[in-house]
Chains A and B, each alone.
Chain A
Amino acid sequence: GAGVSQSPRYKVAKRGQDVALRCDPISGHVSLFWYQQALGQGPEFLTYFQNEAQLDKSGLPSDRFFAERPEGSVSTLKIQRTQQEDSAVYLCASSLGGVDSGANVLTFGAGSRLTVL
């Protein structure tokens, strides 16, 4: 597609519910990143995929967080048993090359705003 598409844009969940956030990157983009952004803060890295391989998941805050990109295109971030501290905007970004390919410019989606009550 023309840009990075994320859904849902807004999600309200009760504490303890599972949620799934979807990211549809730009077609042909090799790299895909998930970030968590709190209000007034910069993006915090969660995980990185190169094609279908999850090369770095060091930023996932707990084992309740799981991400996949099974066919190297669409990715899903799943959060199990949501907690209030999970409330944030979840940003997805994609880039044409790998992380070590020079000026690796990221194109971001508009984000999914998760509110856990």
Chain B
Amino acid sequence: GQNIDQPTEMTATEGAIVQINCTYQTSGFNGLFWYQQHAGEAPTFLSYNVLDGLEEKGRFSSFLSRSKGYSYLLLKELQMKDSASYLCAVTDSNYQLIWGAGTKLIIKP
């Protein structure tokens, strides 16, 4: 079967750095997405990786290793507004998006 694993919940301190991991087992691979979802709101796009390596976008970076079936989202200089769920999703060989359950990130002052 197809599977996306990410930690259920993480806690970090304002101003610090946090890394949210995602491992996947899918039938084929056509890209990996990270989305942010605040409670009661719509998921919003953060990043897309299709090749191995690091993609940096301001305070957020996303890394992909296709051989390991592994990605992480790195958030720097954490702000209280970063408290949200972070969803990892992989596009499989049929171009269907397979979603993880999300990681709830709690930021403490």
Interfacial residues, chain A to chain B (CB-CB below 8 A): 4, 40-45, 56, 91, 99-100, 102-111
Q: Is the CB of A42 within 8 A of B91?
A: no
Query: DSSP majority for the A interface?
Result: loop
10 further A-B contacts with Cβ under 8 Å, apart from A40-B8, A41-B102, A45-B99, are A40-B101, A40-B102, A42-B89, A42-B102, A44-B99, A91-B42, A100-B95, A102-B31, A105-B48, A110-B42
Q: How many A-B residue pairs have CB under 8 A?
A: 51
The reply to whether A42 and B100 contact each other, CB–CB distance below 8 Å, is yes
Interface residue count on the B side (C-beta < 8 Å): 23
Among B89, B95, B101, B104, contact of A99 (Cβ-Cβ < 8 Å): B95
Provide the bound-state CA to CA distance between A59 and B83, in Å. Answer: 30
User: Chain B nearest CB: distance from A113 CB in Å?
Assistant: 8
Max count, chain B CB within 10 A of own CB: residue among A4, A43, A99, A111: A43
Known: A99-B96, A100-B95, A103-B31. A41 touches B42 (CB 8 A): no
Q: Is the CB of A42 within 8 A of B87?
A: yes
B31: which A residues are within 8 A, CB to CB?
102-104
Q: Is the CB of A103 within 8 A of B50?
A: yes
Q: Is the CB of A108 within 8 A of B99?
A: no
